[in-house]
Amino acid sequence: MSTRKKPIVVVTRKLPEPIETRMMELFDTRLNADDQPLTQGQLIEAVRQADVLVPTVTDHIDGAVLAHANPNLRLIASFGTGVDHIDLASARQRGITVTNTPGVLTEDTADMTMALILAVPRRITEGERTLREGNWKGWSPTWMLGHRIWGKRLGIIGMGRIGQAVARRARAFGLSIHYHNRNRLPGAVEQELEATYWESLDQMLARMDIISVNCPHTPATYHLLSARRLELLQAHSYIVNTARGEILDENALTRMLRRKQIAGAGLDVFEHEPAVNPKLLELPNVVLLPHMGSATIEGRIDMGEKVLINIKTFVDGHTPPDRVHAGMF
């Protein structure tokens, strides 16, 4: 770390006001007042001057950017849980520690996942659009029929903090809980969640009514839900993704939704966001949200406080609590 009394901390996006205020009190902080995403050139300039970089999921901190890092840059304290936007190998080679903010967005993301699990089969956004557009002609016994949630089988891909939080909510709605994970959960956790483990993702996909994607994006999970795997889903099934868009082959999903090979989808993330496949926008059986899963005031402040603790701990010469270790995902 630099010998300056206060390290230079460069923040790439606008953060909640209480976090920015505290950061300016503690460090020599450079903020992004207009909240525009930084270009690669601006990110390069940031790593040239920073002792600590505070990026978000919209910033691609790859090897080309880190090649310009000044020798005093020793910490990347990311604002968010996912670290797939950071080249961890390049950071390690340069002796740069990387931290994230795990845990604080668990409940918020699980809430949004559950909202989509309800919204898609019950056609909530379709009904809302019909009403706003003035096309509602009154109640009818056979109009706008969706599907019951109670008694259906939910397959959760990725049973970490968020996956387990989704399972707890889903149980309250009468869903049968199934999951696929890199490692099987302890028996006590399975018993608490009344969850059935599937070692084979393919076999689970073929037997579920609803699929919820809750695993991180890593090289191993890129297009985990490939065209081949999506074709295993039953025609009456729904898929919800609040994790990362890259986990799912968006073009294949769009084709299958258009052909009604899948009943519907709820997507909060996209493979090339903020770009969204225009063919997805045309589909009535899809609920699309602009990456809102963790978007609560409380959650964002909690994330910022974790960033502050990670930086302060590191500056004081200790290992930060949320250090990202090789292979942790």
Q: Which residues are catalytic?
A: 244, 273, 291
Nearest to 288 by CA among 276, 296, 272, 300: 276
Yes or no: say if 69 and 92 are a contact pair by the CB < 8 Å rule.
Answer: no
Residue 87 CA neighbour count, 13 Å, CB half: 15
Report how far Cα 237 is from the mean position of its chain's Cα atoms. 22
- Cα-based distances in Å from 123 to 62, 126, 235, 314, 315: 40, 5, 17, 48, 51
Nearest to 213 by CA among 184, 185, 179, 172: 179
Cα 322 to Cα 320: distance, rounded to the nearest angstrom: 6
